[in-house]
Amino acid sequence: MAAVRLRQGLACAVALALGAQAARAADENVSPTADFTVREITQQLFKAKPGERLDYAGRDLTYLDLSGLDFKQARLARTDLYGVDFTGSDLKGVDMSDSRLDRAVLIRTDLSGANLRGATIFRPTVYADMQNNHADAPRFAGANLTGIRVQADLSGADFRGADLTYADFSPLEARPGQGTLVTLARNVLKSCDFSGATLRHADLTRSVLMFSSLVGADLTGARLIEADLSKVDFSGANLAGADVTGADFDGANLSGVKGLETVKGLDRAVNLDKAFR
């Protein structure tokens, strides 16, 4: 009798787990089954010849553990990468344009030079523990991030020389619950390196950029409304036409900044008198 009850209990637990997975997939529009297994992708990447770029464009790779793999500049354009674990993976130069990286694990992931044009990165896992060690943050140096949508804490990330034209770091997304507890109140980009990056017309509304470097960055027409810009180094940056209404400049370095005379909302910025010029 005890064995029967045990089997019934296990069957019930499995059914509940499968039901929860199906419900989660339905809520997030995620397929419960990927097009490849981890073993298949690992073997294909291992066997790829020098210069051979594997093509996973448009495929479903949701929830796979692809940590520690060298993708050898594979094609992942329009690929569904929801919940994929890329911990320590080498994605340098990979084409991930229009892909979905929502809920992905990006701990120490190298995306330098990757093409992420039009991709989304909503609520990823970026740190190995609650200490939020910036050494865990992903690298996007030299990447194409034009038109990307982000909702995340990416503090410590490397964006040097990246193209973030029209990148959207605003906290709202087009879905039910936007602007409520369902979505993030702010994107957190503390101590990030945006030196030499292009952020023309990027939307950084309400973003926390404290201690970040924007040395020599192009912020022409960028939206920095209500952003936390305290201790940010803007030296040599171009802020022509940017909107800084309500932004906090406490301790920011504005030496050599271009286009200050055309900045919008400068008279409504906070702690501008505490900035260095």
Confidence of residue 271 (pLDDT cuts 50, 70, 90): very high
Confidence of residue 5 (pLDDT cuts 50, 70, 90): very low
| Burial classification of residue 76, based on how many CB atoms lie within 10 Å of its CB (0-12 exposed, 13-18 middle, 19 or more buried) | buried
| Burial classification of residue 106, based on how many CB atoms lie within 10 Å of its CB (0-12 exposed, 13-18 middle, 19 or more buried) | buried
Domain range summary for the chain, segments of one domain joined by +: 1-30
Check residue 33 and give its pLDDT. 84
Tens of pLDDT along 230-270?
Answer: 999 999 999 999 999 999 999 999 999 999 999 999 999 99
Of residues 240, 247, 242, the one with CA closest to residue 275? 247
CA distance 154 to 53: 29
Q: What is the mean pLDDT of residues 222-234?
A: 98
Tens of pLDDT along 22-70?
Answer: 434 434 566 668 999 999 999 999 999 988 999 999 999 999 999 999 9
